[in-house]
Structure 1
Amino acid sequence: MRVGIIGAGIGGLATAVGLQRAGVPVTVFERRDGAGDAGSGISLFGNGLAALDALGLGPAAREIGAVPGGIGPDTPAGQRRPDGRWLTRLPHSVQQTVAVVHRADLQRILLDALAPGTVHTGRPAQSVSVDGRTVDLAGGPETFDVVVAADGIGSRMRRDWPGDPGIRSAGYRAWRGVSAQPVDVTAGIGETVGRGLRFGIAPLADGRVYWFAVVSEPAGQPTGQPAGQPALDGPGPVLAAFGGWHRPIRDIVAATPPEAIRSLPIEELAGRLPTYRRGRCVLLGDAAHAMTPNLGQGGNQALEDAATLVALLTDPTIDGRDGRIDAAVAEYDRRRRPRTQRIARQAALLGRVLQARGPLTAWARDAALRFTPPAVAARGALAVQRWRPPAG
């Protein structure tokens, strides 16, 4: 079996690592000249870490995502008001289920785990044949036994998919950044919510802070706006919206290199795909189920996809009328589509609640957060993390 993977993001590289370690020849094609990732953070929850464990990468991910010594059980986590008063706090046991890592560090772990020459950069893919085996690539077509399309929310492969819903604006815009040096966040981590505004604080292992700022936009904004618009980048728009909020928000933004603060519209799939499989081509990660980041599950679901697909493709007990490989990719679709589409719906709903702009809706949101028992909030936070990789 020979596998071609389109896209050198987290999901594509994780799939390549798992297959290669199982002895499957893999080639990864990346349209960019380099396979680097954005300079922001990603929260690896229990399910994402379980997927990395199944791929043999769990210890390395936990090492770069260890909580720094200054953040312990006395550091509160949860959701606050702009003045710093707490709406809800999560038990420390919930904090222990997440490892916040820099995307570049996770990308490095994945790339280092691959054999030299696995990733071919500067080779964009234009289309895949109906049987899902031949990819039209810059430099000429190539044929594989399985093709994995992990080429992101704007997937070129998905555009030819039956029932592709396209993408739409979620109604808000985000800025993300990582401070250049440690910032004291022992007063609290998590999210702060206002009327149509949200700011998140998540410490990295070395004391630097990954942060995000979210601002609601008018409905119907056009999708596909290029990230990095000069008028929207940098600390100016962030401080204009959040500069008067509680400490250390202003300190965190000030500690971030201005050129590293980029704005982008938050987008999602405009509907549910009827299938993640077309012949022997499967969609993976954002190409299959691009969701809003409100549950922090985009990257974690891509890792689940990767671990599931690797286990199924390398499981010799799987068989079907059309052959083992066809049965494996059909089973991948059966397992992954319901879970990922359900989580995408939950993330979209949560985003509408957290981005409430009206005085009454924002008041109702804050009241609901304030009167939710911590144990109930913890169960909700942990529910989405319940996942086990298939035995392979």
Structure 2
Amino acid sequence: MQLTPLGCILSRRCSAASTKAAASCGKSFAGLGVCVRLERKNLWRHFSVDTDAVGGGRPSGERLRIAVVGGGAAGLSTALHLAPLVTAGLIGGPIDVFEAGERQSSSIGVGIWSTALYAFRDSKDVESHQIVFDDMFRKGTLSEKVGFRSPSGDWLAESNLAGDKTPDFLFLRESDMLGALRKGIDHEVQRGRVVVHSGPSGRIDSIAEDSPEPWSAPLLVRSDGPENNPPEPTERDYHLIVAADGMNSVLRKTYGGHVAKRRRRFLGTGAMGNESDGLLDLPGDGTTEDRWDVRTHSEATNIQDRHYHVFRGNSTVTRDEVEGLENAFQTWGESCNMRFATVPMEFPLPGGKTREMHTWFITIDDESISSEADPERRKEKLLGAFADWHDPIRQLVGATPAAEISMERAVAHVHSCEPVVNFRRVVEQMRGVPFPSGSRGPVVQFVGDAFMTVDPILAQGFTIGMEGAAALAESLERCLRQDLGGATGPPLGQGSGGRLAFSPRLVRKELLDRHDRRMDRLICLLRSSELVQALGQPTKGSLSGWISRWLVRPAMRLAPGFAKTPFFNRVMEYSLGLHTGGQNK
């Protein structure tokens, strides 16, 4: 049996006036991480109190408590990567995951680059991580070659993804990907390191803005009763709240984008513009200029229309029935944001058999198609728009049931959101009322689509979200291990004399530094997206479309394969941030 602390595996109810008294409640469990439930002023709070300090181990006091809002790929990955830190005694367990409802996953294929899975693969001693990694690879297909074609069918170039130095591209059904993550979460729930709150108890409305605690606050859960009922606070309050609730994140819309002018950073893409960094509360920082403006906040959290729709489907045709399906390929259009791509996929069936399918994607800006409500007529119009494109495009789309073809408008955030590290100042600027005296509030960290929803043209949304989850856990581990010497925080309650087992200022500094390091990865993806948009998916009548059709593509046809393949491999690697040193740090 493993004897390392498991966070709040053990719990004890304690009526005490302070965290100091709560800590004494748990001394009989010396050497273990004990979760003490403290009742103060009729409000239940849960503390993760470490009582090992007497034995010369970790510093005594409250350990970092974390909530993850969102049960998608980014949220589940975040909880999985943080779970080992509970066992290590670095954070207070359990990690609370709040999901508003069961995510309706699709059977349509999605791609994940192996950079998102390295952290799972390399955690050999973490059972849940191996469950996720093994299950995804068992149910997915690796794509080793991707071809680039013109609408007439001629081959422009090829990218070779095979090789030890090249990241793998795993393709699997979205339902299988999320299913693998849920299997890992179920394992952590059984071990007591994660608790999942779903349904009514997982519908987060906001963060308690009147919390008297110096460095934490509870979340507010939407009431299940009449609409005018106020939201209820969660039982626990949290030092770190991870917003992983997607593109339409409630926490991003409310608290993201409130900035102090720390510096202006030119990112080199129109999608990002000039990045302004968030509020600081760090010792010795005298360079910030507080500002609050409704228009600025709206711009910072705004969603941008990318002016095309994405159609996706799984085709049942096989390689034996149709030629040209041996490898993945994408066909670059010449106007109207038109582009086609397909990726082969095999997944296991009961009895040891496998099934072959081909997931295809179409992008186009045509209101006559997107406004058609009838699926059959929409499919006919889609086939008509690509009638003069090469085979096997029509065969793939034609074999897909119309009702199973999904359609989504392509949108992206205008800006990324950096951590909110001074919740108090944000609320005071936003509400125009003073925050409780002596309270700074929690950190709000954005991950996945809540951090920034990117243009779907390179299909790296899941990848960058899962990478970000691993990077967050790595940063926290680095910071908290550095803190093992005995960090001390201010009192946890007025006059309580309580202690924290971590430095809240050091955590804030590390998360801001992490944000800066991750920006290099994001910039590479945004620049690559703009390049592919210009060359492979041009708008009607655009100069970039003319250049791509009459200059770039003829040059690509003439260039030898030994020169083109390394170039396209390099572009792919650049989009993943592999040549910046910032992709997974």
| 1:327-381 deviation digits (Å, cap 9, x = unpaired) | 4433432332342244224323422332223362441342354446222111221
Q: Which residue of 2 aligns with 1:125?
A: 204
* 1:76-114 deviation digits (Å, cap 9, x = unpaired): 632111222101112352787211111110100001111
Contact 1:289 1:341 survives alignment (8 Å): no
Structure with more contact order per residue of length (Cα contacts < 8 Å, sep ≥ 6): 1
Distance 2:119 2:400 in 1: 31
> Kindly tell me: are residues 96 and 309 of structure 1, through their superposed partners in 2, closer, same or farther at Cα, counting changes over 3 Å?
closer
Provide Cα deviations, 1:203-233, integer angstroms capped at 9, x if missing partner.
1133211111000358xxxxxxxx9973578
Distance in 2 of aligned mates of 1:340 and 1:157: 21
Cα distance change on mapping 1:152 and 1:141 into 2, 3 Å? same
Aligned equivalents of 2:414, 2:153: Cα separation in 1: 35
Question: 1:272, 1:92 → 2: CA distance?
Answer: 29
Q: Closer, same or farther in 2 for the Cα pair 1:321/1:195, shift >3 Å? A: same
Q: 1:307 to 1:120 in 2, by over 3 A?
A: same
Q: Secondary structure of 1:36's match?
A: coil
Q: Distance in 2 between matches of 1:17 and 1:44?
A: 17
The range that moved more, 149-158 or 344-353, is 344-353
What's the counterpart of residue 137 of structure 1?
Answer: 221
When normalised by structure 2's length, the TM-score is 0.58
Given the alignment, which residue of 420, 423, 427 partners 1:277? 420
Structure 1 residues 166-205: aligned runs within 5 Å = 166-180=302-316, 182=318, 185-196=324-335, 197-205=338-346
Q: Does 1:340 align with 2:522?
A: yes
Corresponding residue for residue 176 of structure 2: 105
What's the TM-score, normalizing by structure 1? Answer: 0.84
* Cα contact 2:325–2:344 (8 A) shared by 1: no
SS at match of 2:172: strand
Deviations 1:293-315 (A, max 9, x none): 22232111101100011222234
Report whether the alignment pairs 1:360 with 2:546: yes
Question: Do 2:77 and 2:469's aligned partners in 1 also have CA atoms closer than 8 Å?
Answer: yes
Cα 1:30–1:376, aligned 2, differ >3 Å: closer, same or farther? same
Distance 1:232 1:348 in 2: 31
> Which residue in the other structure is 2:440 paired with?
none
Instruction: For 1:102, give the aligned amino acid.
Output: R
Question: In structure 2, do the counterparts of structure 1 residues 369 and 127 end up closer, same or farther at CA, with 3 Å as the change threshold?
Answer: farther
**Which residue number corresponds to residue 15 of structure 1?**
78
Check whether the contact 1:228–1:263 (CA below 8 A) recurs between aligned residues.
no
Distance 1:248 1:31, change over 3 A: same
Task: Give the whole-Å Cα distance in 1 for the aligned partners of 2:419 and 2:523.
Answer: 11
Matched, 1:26 2:98: no
Aligned length: 374
Distance in structure 2 (CA, Å) of the matches to 1:229 and 1:338: 40
Identity of aligned residues (%): 22
**Contact 2:520-2:583 at 8 Å conserved across structures:** no
Which one of the candidate residues 559, 566, 569 is aligned to 1:375?
Answer: 566
CA distance in 1, matches of 2:505, 2:360: 47
SS of equivalent to 1:154? coil
Contact 2:312 2:361 in 1 (8 A): yes
Alignment partner of 1:58 out of 111, 128, 133: 133
Q: Residue type of the partner of 1:38?
A: S
Give the direction of change, closer, same or farther, for the CA distance of 1:324–1:48 in structure 2 (3 Å limit).
same
Unmatched 5+ residue regions in structure 1? 219-226
The CA distance in 1 between the partners of 2:503 and 2:83, in whole Å, is 27
For 2:218, give the aligned amino acid: T
Question: Which of the residues 131, 149, 167 maps onto 1:80?
Answer: 149
Q: CA deviation at 1:187?
A: 4.8
Structure 2 residue runs without a partner (length 5+): 1-63, 87-92, 124-128, 190-194, 210-214, 224-231, 259-296, 348-355, 423-442, 484-501
Once the two structures are superposed, what CA deviation does each residue of 1:12-49 show, in whole Å capped at 9, x if it has no partner?
111111222443422222223x1232343221223123
Distance 1:188 1:168 in 2: 33
**Structure 2 partner of 1:221:** none
CA distance in 2, matches of 1:235, 1:100: 25
Distance 1:181 1:108, change over 3 A: farther
| Number of the residue aligned with 2:49 | none
Q: Within the alignment, does 1:330 sit opposite 2:512 as a pair?
A: yes
Instruction: Note if contact 2:528-2:574 (Cα within 8 Å) is conserved in structure 1.
Output: no
Q: Distance in 2 between matches of 1:126 and 1:39?
A: 30
* Bigger radius of gyration: 2
Alignment partners' CA distance in 2, 1:30 and 1:171? 30
User: Quick one: which amino acid aligns to residue 329 of structure 2?
Assistant: G
Matched, 1:298 2:480: no
**Which deviates the most, 350-359 or 14-23?**
350-359
Secondary structure of 2:529's counterpart equals helix
Q: Is the 8 A contact 1:318 1:328 kept in 2?
A: no
Work out the CA distance in 1 between the residues paired with 2:158 and 2:564.
9
Alignment of 1:208-219 (within 5 A): 208-216=357-365
Counterpart residue type for residue 236 of structure 1: E
Consecutive aligned runs of 4 or more in structure 1 exceeding 6 Å deviation: none
CA shift for structure 1 position 126: 2.2
Bigger shift: residues 379-388 or 279-288: 379-388
Give the counterpart letter for 1:118 in structure 2: V
1:351 aligns with: 533
From 254, 262, 265, the equivalent of 2:406 is: 262
SS in 2 for 1:2: strand
Q: Does the CA contact (< 8 Å) of 1:51 and 1:303 recur in 2?
A: no
- Structure-2 separation of matches of 1:291 and 1:65: 24
Q: 1:114 is paired with a residue of what secondary structure?
A: helix
Range that drifts further, 22-31 or 381-390:
381-390
Q: CA deviation at 1:53?
A: 2.4
Deviations 1:56-94 (A, max 9, x none): 233332222234xxx8x7xx6321112221011123527
Distance 1:138 1:151, change over 3 A: same
Determine the C-alpha separation between the residues in 1 that align with 2:384 and 2:116.
35
